[in-house]
Structure formats: structure tokens, C-alpha cells
Structure 1
């Protein structure tokens, strides 16, 4: 059997709240195959985004293990996690997280330069063209619509050719038409680069496009498939 791209075993996350420790994830065991598209759904507060953050090493599990591409993320320090993410993962958030003082081209190219990619600006241009922004490369985020900003964020996530794409409500701040276009592009990036895609969404129609859907409730996996 092929080793999974991502595997969580009894993964737990407890964070400190005002009234004491809050158990966010309560023992998640889950694996994702190479090239699979996994949708994660569930009500607000069910732990979807927290689970995605564990998968990306952006939150550290307080129990259990999280393995990505054969590497134990729970054993890495912050610097090692940052290096691992830079080379292997692309993350797209609901908020675009663009640097306002940089053009679209710079927002995509600078992370590549920091990673030592020799053709950073050429690759950034190609990725922006792939998401329909060839004519907007030299515009700043404030000069772009929400849909355009999210396309820049997609290009930035895809430019390092990551093995794993993580998307947390990527259409949450967009209207229906822009949201549909962003999802088409996200699935297109997956197909073009052969990435494994993990998608958190509230939208059943988006989850339905995934190979597999996991439902979360109260910090646990409640089942698979769209139907409760």
C-alpha cells in the first residue's frame, strides 16, 4: 500500500482559553492518499480549520502524531516546520494575506526568491497568467478586487509546485461568481501540478467536487460523505 501523503493518529489540540484549557481536537485519526482531494465540512467550531492548521504544521498537536510526506511534523521545531512548508505545502486562506506594499508579481515572486528559486519572477509571471492576471501583475492589492486578490493568493500557493495544497474557506469572502471561478482555478492547479488538495468549506457544492468528504463535529470525525 502506498504511504499516505498526510496521516494523523489520535491527533489532539488543546489551547489555553480565558477560563482554562479548551480541547479543540479530540483524537483525530485520518489519512490522505497522494493525489486525493479531501473536503472537510462541519458546523462552525467543529474543528475544521484547526485540523487544517495541524496538517500544515501551523499549529502543533498537543497529543498524537501528524505525518506529512513521511516526516513527523510533531517532532520538528518552528524553523524546521517553516522550511518544510516552504518546500512542500501551499496554503490558501479565506483572508488573502497579501503584502499591501508589494505588487501582485512581488507577492508571488518574493517567497520564491527567499526559498532560493533561481527563476522566481519568471515562475511568478507564469502562475499569475495561469490564474488570469497577466494584465494585473504590477497592480497592488488595494487596486484589485477581492476575487483578483484571491487569485494572487492562489498563484502564490501554487508557485513552489507544492505536493500538498491546503485551502481554508478560500471562497468565504467572495461572491458566488468569483467563488466559483476561484474553485475552478484551485482544482485546475491541483490537476496541473498533481498536488494533493485538502479543502475546508461550508459549501456542499464545493465539497461534492472532492474525491472524499470528511464531516467534523465537536472536534471529532463524525463520518464521511455529505449526508449526515
Structure 2
């Protein structure tokens, strides 16, 4: 079983990435998606990750989430080296320390809003999962939608359920990949306001992938990816 290391000093970055590469096979030969990423995310920091399509933004998020294995390099999350962990240990790490919000809502269609938010809490053994889930949904303004299925909710409501689900276990790191991409402008703006309010309330570190420079500017810092590398020549 993979041991959980002691908590690192609070002054250490929450995430430290060194020399991260990701190469995948293709019919035309190996494709280098990430090419030596170095990146640190401070505790409680909001970082906007921007760059053109195909620059590796989502791939980086997937590696940080433990949903994709890096080809080489190191990822340390909250003092724990994660690149060599087993699949079971990676899943446990995600449940304890990482929240993810995607452009698609990824709610379980046969479960109510309350049940969807209960799932990650039950997986980490929270005894009062239903009460915690109810409070999380109230925090996103959905106390009147607890028993509704995803198909009975609007797009904005579904994404708010996804936010409640991501924040309910109190993750140290929240990864958000174009979270308003499927929403109209007004609804998306309201969801983003809620996302930043929840992040401040919980003190969560946020990595936000977006094509919207105005949205990225709301973060504490912006990182620009280009061709699988952090582009230090771009001042944003």
C-alpha cells in the first residue's frame, strides 16, 4: 500500500511540477504533448492557464489529476510524489485532495442532485454525507433542487451541482477545464462568480483553464502554454 507522507510545511507550494513530459503514440509516430513543464501552484493561489488549442492545457490538467500518466518528470501534490503511485492510490488521492470541474458536467444521470454530491463524500467515508451534500447545494443556491435529476436541471444548474460536488470534500486543489464552455454568457458569468466565491471561502488552490483572457485576469497569476511548454516569453 502506498504510504501517505506527513503534511509538508504550509509555506511549501501545494503543487510542484518538474520536467513533466507526455508522449503518446500515433499512426504517424510518437506525439510530444507536454515537453518539459516546470510549474508551481501556491497554497490558496488561483492560476489561469491559457494558450491556443492543442497547446497541452487539458493534458496537463489530466496528469495533475492522476487521470493520465506522465512519460517522465515529477508531480508533487501536498508533499506527495504522485507520478509513481498505483491506480488505487491515485484514485484515493483524487478523492481526498483534488476536485475537478469539466466543461461537460459529468453528473450521474440516474441520481438526484443530492445523490450526485453525496458520491465523493461517501467514497472518503464522510459519515454525515447527506447533510454535507445538502449544505454544499445550499451554498450554490440549489436547496430547492435537491431531488431533481440532472435531466430536470438547466445547464447552469447542472454546473452548479458539479461545483457543489467538487467543493463538498474540501479539496486542496480544484482543477477547472473551461467550466463555462457549455453555458451562455450570462449563465457562465454567474457560475464563474460562484466558483471564485467558493474558492475564497474554502481557501482552495485553483488551476483554471480558459480561452477567455478577461477571466484568466481574475486569477492571481496567469501561465501561458505553447506547444507543450510554459511560454515564459509571453507576459500576461
1:84 pairs with one of 62, 73, 93: 93
Task: Tell me the SS of whatever aligns to 1:17.
Answer: coil
- Conserved 8 A contact 1:37-1:210: yes
Contact 1:104 1:139 in 2 (8 A): yes
Equivalent in the alignment of 2:4 = none
Alignment RMSD: 1.3
Give how far 1:126 is off. 0.5
Alignment of 1:22-171 (within 5 A): 22-171=31-180
SS at match of 2:137: helix
Distance (whole Å) between structure 1 residues aligned to residue 79 and residue 47 of structure 2 = 19
For residue 5 of structure 2, what is the aligned residue in structure 1? none
Q: Deviations over 1:50-99 (max 9, x none)?
A: 11111111111101101100111111011000001100111000110000
Distance 2:25 2:70 in 1: 13
Separation in 1, partners of 2:120, 2:82 = 21
Q: 1:3 aligns with which of 12, 15, 20?
A: 12
Distance in 2 separating the partners of 1:36 and 1:224: 22
Task: Tell me how far 1:20 sits from its aligned partner.
Answer: 2.5
Tell me the CA shift for residue 111 of structure 1.
Answer: 2.2
Q: Write the distance in 1 (CA, Å) between the matches of 2:123 and 2:79.
A: 25
Q: 1:224 to 1:164 in 2, by over 3 A?
A: farther
Q: Stretches of 4+ moved more than 6 A in 1?
A: none
Task: Identify the match of residue 20 of structure 1 among 18, 29, 50.
Answer: 29
Give the aligned length: 227
After TM superposition, the score normalised by the length of structure 2 is: 0.93
* Structure 1 spans left out of the alignment, 5+ residues: none
User: Does 1:221 pair with 2:230?
Assistant: yes
- Residue 58 of structure 2 aligns to a residue whose secondary structure is helix
What runs of 5+ residues in structure 2 fail to find an aligned partner? 1-8
Question: Secondary structure at the residue paired with 1:75?
Answer: coil
